[in-house]
Amino acid sequence: MNIQESIHNGIQLAFQNIFNHDLPLDQISLAPTRKEFEGTYTFVVFPYLKISKSTPEATANLIGEYLKENVSEVAGFNVVKGFLNLELNNMIWVDVFQKLIANENIGQLPANGQKVMVEYSSPNTNKPLHLGHLRNNFLGFSVANILEANGYEVIKANLVNDRGIHICKSMVAYQHFGNGETPESSGLKGDHLAGKYYVIFDQKYKEQIAELKENGQSEEDAKKNAPLFLEAQEMLRKWEANDEEVVALWKQMNTWVYEGFEKTYKRMGVSFDKYYYESDTYLLGKDIVTEGLEKGVFFKKENGSVWVDLTDEGLDEKLVLRGDGTSVYITQDMGTADLKYDDFGISKSVYVVGNEQDYHFDVLFKIMRKLGRPYGEGLYHLSYGMVDLPTGKMKSREGTVVDADDLMQEMVDTAAQHTKELGKIDGFNEEQATELYETLGMGALKYFLLKVDPKKRMLFNPQESIEFQGNTGPFIQYSHARIASILRKAVQIGVDYKEADFSKLTKVEESESSLIYLLNDFEKKISQAGLDYSPAILAQYLFDLAKEYNRFYADLPIFLENDPTILAFRVALSSHTAKTLKKGMQLLGIAVPERM
């Protein structure tokens, strides 16, 4: 039983013995005591005054006295209005720490027997990945790691949007203006080459619209009648009819794009267990429409179109199949949801998609629940906000997109410049320095994008993200490197911190107990981050832990300690902090350096 469980049980007994009331354990919660007050945990008594039939202060004092007398972990207490601040037995922290270091699977909760799919990235094969994709990929990969740490079997999936009018636009432009250009002949990554022709299509299309408008057509008619647009529509029809020449060009350009994507994913440090392709799934879901009609979940209108009525769910009527029998997006998404379940038997499915799709997923999930799908209650849309730069919003079709490859390189270059200026690469050879710049640059980028609640729109500031002070990735990475240096020195001078017996300790300093308190919270934070699908919870925890360690290090200079047991204890405390930081950053998809 851990400290909190012991105190929870003590509070439950206090209510039974003092107030003759059976208080369920799930109605008891403890919060960390605020720094300005003495104590470790705080129990707020205001919600229980109807039970105690007394004042907040009297209620808190009665419970405090009971805990002090009956719970060995509680050494004392103080009351501030209705806040009962519990002061713990100092030596409790040694026992807590011994249990922490005995755990060989730090940051890994037991298997829960459930499978979850996390779908993220979902790129279009007509253009490279951009800044928004970075947030998407880092979120998806981190959430997958966090769910795995929570005991789930996780399948990381990528649904690639490899068909449709947008792909045909790149293909048409390439046919007209490509002159047989390839990634090799152009020196461009394949995804950048396809993106180049998507931009060219847009430029030429606008020129044609302007020309048609000059000849008297309205803007709306000009957009529909522009020759390039008509060609793109015709190409899509040919693709769907499996035209040999069109399919060959589609496969060639997509092959180039996938090779480009793989390089970007590798640098991002993200991976996938399963790829789905819209070209394989776009016809799925029509059988579900038939099933829904038979079950009375869907209804048909006079023109033959099929709808679902979600007014009882606070929404409206939604089209699920057109009158001519062709699909809409929701049709194939229903089919793909079933396909995922058939492939893996998942109990949860997490879709990492921007918040502009909130309504779409609300509709999809409500439909699948109405259809009685076994995975229906496990559907979750991890909706995230847009990322802005100080220079303003991104626009992809005009060729001014903030390219993911360019931004990653810029971050690594900035890390190199910043690290050289601070003199943190003394003694590094060129290869080691290059690796450090990559680690710091990518760590800064990932951490900055992950530390913000996913639901919030955010402003990414490259310069701020790379700082070695403040709530940044490099601050946590530097803290880990500092501890690694301490551990190397401890080995050099023969400190046997791994086998030391800490039961001989007679006192734990305040900065030591505060650090152990935070270390003891690690798995709770992992659990909370998993429940909320929020890496930001874990990022904040790691920042707090790094800060707390730096305070401990400043308060208690480790190698000035003469008592061998206390010295070994502080080195062991440093070692476990490093392990926790490293594991936590791994869950965010971030590497930590051993030296800087």
79-100 residue pLDDT tens: 999 999 999 988 889 999 999 9
Give the domain-ending residue among 54, 72, 88: 88
Task: Provide the token pair at 62.
Answer: 């009665």
Domain of 551, in residue numbers: 414-588
Query: Is the predicted pLDDT of residue 290 greater than 70, yes or no?
Result: yes
Query: Is the predicted pLDDT of residue 394 greater than 80, yes or no?
Result: no
Query: Is the predicted pLDDT of residue 398 greater than 50, yes or no?
Result: no
Percent of the chain scored above 90 by pLDDT?
87
Query: Is the predicted pLDDT of residue 446 greater than 70, yes or no?
Result: yes
Q: CATH code at 501? A: 1.10.730.10
Mark residue 427 as left, alpha or beta (left: phi above 0; alpha: psi -120 to 50; beta: remaining).
left
20 part of a folded domain: yes
Query: Is the predicted pLDDT of residue 399 greater than 50, yes or no?
Result: no
Q: Which residue has the higher pLDDT, 533 or 388?
A: 533
Question: At a CB cut-off of 8 Å and minimum separation 6, what does 108 contact?
Answer: 149
Query: What is the rounded CA–CA span in Å between residue 74 and residue 88?
Result: 4
49 part of a folded domain: yes
Give the domain-ending residue among 28, 57, 88: 88
336-374 residue pLDDT tens: 999 999 999 999 999 999 999 999 999 999 999 999 999
Percent of the chain scored above 70 by pLDDT?
98
Query: Is the predicted pLDDT of residue 469 greater than 60, yes or no?
Result: yes
153-166 residue pLDDT tens: 999 999 999 999 99
3-state secondary structure 297-317: CEEECCCCCEEEECHHHCCCE
Give the total number of structural domains in the chain: 2
Query: Is the predicted pLDDT of residue 397 greater than 50, yes or no?
Result: no
Amino acid 395: pLDDT = 44
208-227 residue pLDDT tens: 999 999 999 999 999 999 99
368 part of a folded domain: no
201 part of a folded domain: no
578 part of a folded domain: yes
242-259 residue pLDDT tens: 999 999 999 999 999 999
Q: pLDDT band at residue 396, thresholds of 50, 70 and 90? A: very low
Query: Is the predicted pLDDT of residue 425 greater than 80, yes or no?
Result: no
Task: Provide the token pair at 322.
Answer: 């057109």
CA quadruple 235, 237, 242, 248: dihedral, nearest 10: 10
432 part of a folded domain: yes
Q: CATH code at 65? A: 3.30.1360.70
Query: What is the rounded CA–CA span in Å between residue 206 and residue 197?
Result: 14
387 part of a folded domain: no
